[in-house]
Chains A and B, each alone.
Chain A
Amino acid sequence: MTPSALSSPQPFLRVVGLRKTYPSPQGALEILKGVELTLEAGASVALMGESGSGKSTLLHLVGCLDRPDSGEIWLDGTLVSALPETEQATVRQRAIGVVFQQFNLIPSLDVRDNLAFQARISDRLEASWLDELTERLGLSSLLSRYPEQLSGGQQQRVAIGRALAVRPRLLLADEPTGNLDEATGDAVLNLALELVAETGCSFMMVTHSARLAAKLGRQALLSSGTIVEDGVWPGRRGER
């Protein structure tokens, strides 16, 4: 490590040489082949790439939901990828909020309990903040409904509320608006970005939509197992 690297501030999230293979009937399938990525505190990045390129896989690894075969994930100066399971769980509940493609909500709990769940287990329940989130996400009238009584967009909004209720340091979202129509998708994402900006958390989002990706600070392209492009898109650079 060079002295200059030491003097520069550590990025909030640092992914180094990340590799992941899955077993398959045709033998081992290497999905991530040494991914490098950083994200500053409070910054946001959109992760793009073809279907099956490994975007969700990368997001899961960053979210401590799975372990890489090799490589490191540093979160706020901690090598989270090497932590034992119980400590990873603690990192998940305190520092990370996740919004997935599917299975975001606990089917046995109503919207109210779903919103509060993560905050409750991490002992960070702030009633006023939760009320505000509920209000702004437009969930006030849905509080006593159960997940299967909600539309796709409503479910995504509950998931976002649940994730932000703990005031996470990092919000991870996997195509949060994938199932929504354009207008609703835009509205949900705008709201999420607004809230992210207020809480000052870092934000990483997988999306197939260039238009939505453009709303984030940076865009990274995953292809053949590595990040092949990373930066501000030419189009947006021009906008600036």
Chain B
Amino acid sequence: MKQAFWTLFALLAHWRRHRLNLAALLAGLSIATALWSGVQALNANARKSYADAAAAVNGADTRALVSRQGGLFPQSDYVRLRRAGWKVSPVLEGTIRLKDKTLRIIGIEPLTLPRGARLSGLGEKIGLEKFITSPGAGFAAPETLDTFGLRGAVASLGQAFPPVEVLSQAPPDALIMDVGLAQKLLDRHDQLSRLIVESEGEAPLSDVVGQTLRLVEPNQDSDLARLTDSFHLNLTAFALLSFLVGLFIVHASFGLAFEQRLTIIRTVRAVGVSARTLVAAMCMELFALTLLAGGGGLLLGYWMAQALLPNVAASLDSLYGAAVSTRLSLEPGWILSGMLMAFAGAISSAWSGLIRAFRLPILRTQPQAWREAHRHYLRRQGLLGATVFAAALAFWFFGGGYTAGFALIGGASLGVALILPVAMDSALRLGGRFANRPLTQWFWADSRQQLPGLSLALMSLLLALAANIGVGGMVEGFRLTFTQWLNERLIAEVYFEAKDDLAARRIEQWLGRRAEVEAILPTWRTKTEIGHWPAEVFGLRAHPTYREHFPLLSQSEEAWDRLTRGDAALISEQLARRLKLGLGDAIEIPAQDATLRAIVVGIYPDYGNPIGQLRVDADAFKRHWPLAPRTNYSIRVAPRKTEALIRDLQEEMGPSLARLANRAYVKELSLSIFERTFAVTGALNTLTLIVAAIALFFSLLTLNEMRLMQLAPVWALGVSSPRLAVVELVRTLIFAATTALWALPLGLFMSWCLVAIVNVEAFGWRLPFHVFPGQWAQAFVIALLVALAAALVPAIRLARKTPAELLRVFANEG
């Protein structure tokens, strides 16, 4: 014990004089832990929100009845079931748009809500009268009140909107109210979306309600959880990448510390510390450092999650319409898993050092042997890189799918990163061949010698740059495609939504009398569910406007004519991929009373939409969804007369309008949604690059101390120390530039994987692949700047070294 203590003392004393290295080590481990645990916190928070939302009315272990065809069902079914002795409780769910966000309306009946449901105590807690008696009340979590501005006066929202009160158990972005009130607010009279089953009655379900309803077992993942899975996997993959980049720093610092402490290790062993005790002391040191860095990392991760949460919530909302609480709540398990990750990272970075320390002969071995060993090491690393690369390719080739796409990206990145030092070593050797002046010869040879110390930092720079190019390219490509697509898709000059059906008819008539109006195009819409996926049905007319402009990925002959006949549908790319439908396939669309059977005659891109979409003829729509509100329209007007029409429409029809917008506004809105979609991706991308910059910075800074050994003899031979500093600077820039060049093909490959594999699996759309040389140039410049910043401090320090400091190198050689 005493031995271990004093050995630990000697080991720890090392850090006092190598603070920078210690800082790098702690920073690396903290950052790695922070990025990992921060993203985990974000994921956990979102998942909890989904679960809360699902459990709020359902309870974790209650069964429910839903429409067999998806969508809503008549309230009469509920009444019949109650009469037949079924203990069921009605629920109506729907959404309204408020402040550009989705507010979920949950209508419940507190009296019949079963015990298991989270809100079951609601009746007693807030008083039933308040709930049911006019004007009724809505209940929402405090943060929901804030985000939607529901505190205080809400009269402006319309008559059906009840006063809102605080209920902390309410799920995020949701408003809970009596089911009758919800029916009024959502305009779904006498309709329900679900019945919660407390206990079944004597009579079998089919005897009571026929084939309209089906029983759903509890504990199935909520739709949201299923839908957002890929998004969270995406985040996790990013976190893992950042974690790895962070670990590169840790690994490099441990490696450096090990080299620097060889003398300590040898001396304490020589005076009688056994290898076992030494390793035990090193383990204790590792434990203490990890505890420190891991704790710091958790704090940092919490802070990071807090900062990123609005971005994540925005992305989830615009991608999936999912509501995520913007208040971070953490479980104790999060701390534990974060710490475990910190330890896993620390051990994986330090174990090779520990094993070397255990096996280290006390006496110095010849440097020749070290060089030989390093060559072997490089060769093995190159081989490993190639193997990982090949394995990833094979995995993707034989596996396919989303995870395989990520495995391909991961494997390829790791493979290329591992090969990087080998390739650089060869390049430097080649450079040395062509050098003819002594100083340049020394330059190449010395650069090769520096490579082992720098290679980890360069590898992490490579990964970060490649991720930057890859993800940046994907997002930029998406932006390009998206704006083009929006331009094509948003053809009409004016868009409006009427307050209700009656108002819509009135506005239609009014517009019909205006000469400048070229066409009034219905864009009626309703929700349904196909193959357990939520979907939106649009009713439209095959007007020339669509025939000429509406972007389609593929279409059957005379698609628009067939659409007009009523038995054909256009479906969005997402839906086609999800349901594996192609042109000419039949699709059964659950409608209000019966099923609408249609043939797919066209597939259109619908970027950024979380749910599937279908477009059918407006008349067919009216027939099959007689109750759906027909309130949405777009108008073709001569462009010059648009503003005047909008003004007149507003003036004369104002009270009948729910929304009125021109094309520019709708476009702007769509673009802002797009920006929110990739808010997290951008933030994480930047973080990774920062981490890599830190990695390179610390590696160079710490290496500088060891560099003196190699530089002092050159200095002694008459090269001035400022000149040496310049040489060092140039060397680092060459390293960084080469790394950036390597990162380019890898980044392009990543971008391709994201576009062609991951996005398709995750979101259901495939973008055309674009390249952006401007971005490459940017990444290249960033790499150089990072390297310059990192090399400048050591170079200046070197230039300022006094002869005495340089001389001491010789004195210490003994």
Contact = CB atoms under 8 A, between A and B. Distances in A.
Interface of A: 25, 60, 63, 65-66, 85-86, 88-94, 96, 98, 100-109, 113, 117-118, 120-123, 146, 148, 152, 162, 179
Interface in B338-369: 361-364, 368
Contact of A86 (B11, B267, B276): B276
A65 B14 contact: no
Contacts of B3: 93, 121
A162 B363 CA distance: 19
Contact of B268 (A85, A91, A106): A106
Given A60-B363, A106-B263, A117 B270 contact: no
Interface in B221-279: 261, 263-264, 266-277
A149 to B, nearest CB: 9
Contacts of A105: 267
Contact of B814 (A94, A103, A113, A122): A103
Nearest to B812: A148
Please classify the interface of chain B as helix (H, G, I), strand (E, B), loop, or mixed, using the class held by over half of its residues: helix
B2 interface: yes
Contacts of B155: none
Nearest to B274: A89
A113 B363 CA distance: 23
A50 B269 CA distance: 28
Given A106-B264, A120-B2, 20 more contacts: A65-B363, A88-B274, A89-B274, A90-B272, A92-B272, A93-B273, A94-B272, A98-B270, A103-B263, A103-B266, A107-B14, A107-B263, A107-B264, A108-B261, A118-B271, A121-B271, A122-B272, A123-B2, A148-B811, A152-B811
A36 to B, nearest CB: 23
B696 to A, nearest CB: 27
Given A65-B363, A148-B808, A93 B272 contact: yes
Contact of B10 (A63, A102, A117, A122): A117
A152 B813 CA distance: 11
B16 interface: yes
B268 A117 contact: yes
Contact of A117 (B6, B363, B368, B808): B6
A152 B9 CA distance: 25
18 contacts: A65-B362, A65-B363, A86-B274, A89-B272, A89-B275, A89-B277, A90-B272, A90-B274, A92-B271, A96-B272, A98-B271, A103-B364, A108-B264, A109-B10, A113-B13, A120-B2, A121-B268, A148-B808
Nearest to B11: A108
Contact of B363 (A66, A85, A148): A66
Contact of B271 (A25, A93, A148): A93
Contacts of B274: 85-86, 88-90
B275 A85 contact: yes
B470 to A, nearest CB: 43
Contacts of A101: 814
A121 B2 contact: yes
A102 B814 contact: yes
Interface string B142-164: 00000000000000000000000
User: Nearest 6 CB-CB pairs, A to B?
Assistant: A93-B272, A89-B274, A102-B814, A92-B272, A108-B13, A108-B14
Contacts of A102: 814
Nearest to B272: A93
A89 B270 CA distance: 8
Nearest to A24: B366
B30 interface: no
Contacts of A86: 274-276
B532 interface: no
B738 interface: no
A94 B368 CA distance: 34
